[in-house]
Structure 1
Amino acid sequence: MTIGEKIQKCRKEQKMSQEELAGRLGVSRQAVSKWELNESVPDTENVIELGRIFNVSLDYLLKMEIEEPEDREKENTEENQNVVQAHEGRQEERKRMRHPGLLILSVCTVLIMIWTVSRHAALTGIVWVVDLWVFWGIGYLIFLVVRALKKYIQR
Structure 2
Amino acid sequence: MKSNKILNIIIAVVALVGAFLFIKIFMEDSEAIETDVDLQNSVVSPIIYYSTFLLIAAVVIAVALSLWSLIRNPENLKKTLMGLAVLGVLLVISYFLSDSEAVINAAGGISEGGEAGSATNKWVGTGIWYSIILGGVASLFFVYDLVKGLIKS
Which TM-score applies when normalising by structure 1?
Answer: 0.31
- The structure richer in helix per residue is 2
Q: Decide which structure has the larger Cα Rg and report it.
A: 2
